[in-house]
Amino acid sequence: MNFAIIGCGLIGQKRAKAVRDSGHSVHIVADTLNDRAQRLAAQCHGSSFSTDWCKAVSAPEVDAVVVATTNQWLAPVTIAAVRAGKHVMVEKPAARTVKEIDEVISVASKGAVHVRVGFNLRYHPAIQKARDLIDSGALGPLLFIRGRYGHGGRVGYEKEWRSNPEISGGGELIDQGVHLIDLARWFLGEFTQVEGHATTYFWEMPVDDNAFLSLRTATGQTAWLQVSCTEWKNLFSIEIYGRDGKLDIQGLGGSYGVERLAFYRMLPQMGPPETTIWEYPGEDRSWQSEMLDFEQIVQIRKSYGSGLVDARAALLVVESIYRQSLQ
């Protein structure tokens, strides 16, 4: 397939690499900064570059569009791409609001193309292994989940685009929070009760730097989630409890520490559980895995992927928490 990459920042570069690693080609890249577009095109054999994303998404040679812009452009670019008949891989959170994503869903539902949302954490090996173990019944029925995710920002973080609500749609909750919400919902199912608060403790910016979420399914399973960009020691942790055991996922590589999954299996006599741990010290291949999955979905022509629905569910939680935090 031929791809257009819209947005040539860090994530756009990762996506472009994943496109090429998966045997596809990048036809054109676009960015508001001409230099940045040019540099990425130089790395993608045969790719042109442009500062005009409209042109890029509608180029006849393009089969699929990667939308890796800042948040305010995610929805408009996706809509334009769908209207141009292109498959789309759009970065999370896919839109700034439920209202925005509902427009995307509405347009996408009429097209014959696939729109996937880039929740790449689903493709991390520890999380995929966790999913497999849960699906195999090894944990028994799930009881609850705890999730913690955060980083410590960097000097000047409060002046970056993520701190501008016009651009980002929100702070830490819409940035890293949607990942945890998406994973928790992937494991537990729909949440019928949403409680929590988002707050700004440290960074002098008009968006939240910490959020606390208590999400419950209809049967009362709790997802107890916290995200932070005052997490001075980078952290990713998901703990999943079932009647018969616990899964403990830690790390995402790099500054988050080695990715690992521990499976604590309860024994009939209870006491210390049987313990098996898998570590994944290799480089982060989640972007490639996600791209291969994208390709499969496109090839088998399922008329409409579930990605936007997932992103909508996450945004619904985000908005509810933001609303409660205003009280």
**Coil, strand or helix: which one is 116?**
strand
Segment lying near its own copies (by CB under 8 A), choices 31-39, 77-85, 208-216, 294-302: 208-216
- Pure H helices in the chain: 10-21, 34-43, 53-58, 74-83, 98-110, 125-135, 165-168, 172, 178-188, 286-299, 307-326
8 A C-beta contact, residue 211 and residue 226: yes
222 binds its own copies (CB under 8 A): yes
The residue type of 220 is: G
Q: Which of 192, 276, 296, 306 binds its own copies (CB under 8 A)?
A: 276
Task: State the minimum distance, in angstroms, from the CB of residue 94 to its own copies.
Answer: 28
Task: State the minimum distance, in angstroms, from the CB of residue 277 to its own copies.
Answer: 4
What CA–CA distance (Å, rounded) separates 49 from 34?
Answer: 8
270 binds its own copies (CB under 8 A): yes
322 binds its own copies (CB under 8 A): no
Q: Which of 10, 45, 60, 281 binds its own copies (CB under 8 A)?
A: 281
277 binds its own copies (CB under 8 A): yes
- For the chain, state the CA radius of gyration: 20
286 binds its own copies (CB under 8 A): no
Q: Which residues contact 38 (CB under 8 A, 6 or more apart)?
A: 49
- Whose Cβ is closer to its own copies: residue 233's or residue 302's? 233
The residue type of 274 is: E
Binding-site ranges for its own copies (CB under 8 A): 143-144, 146, 148, 152-155, 195-197, 199, 201-202, 210, 212, 214, 216, 220-222, 224, 226, 228, 230-233, 241, 243, 245-246, 248, 255, 262, 264, 266, 269-273, 275-282
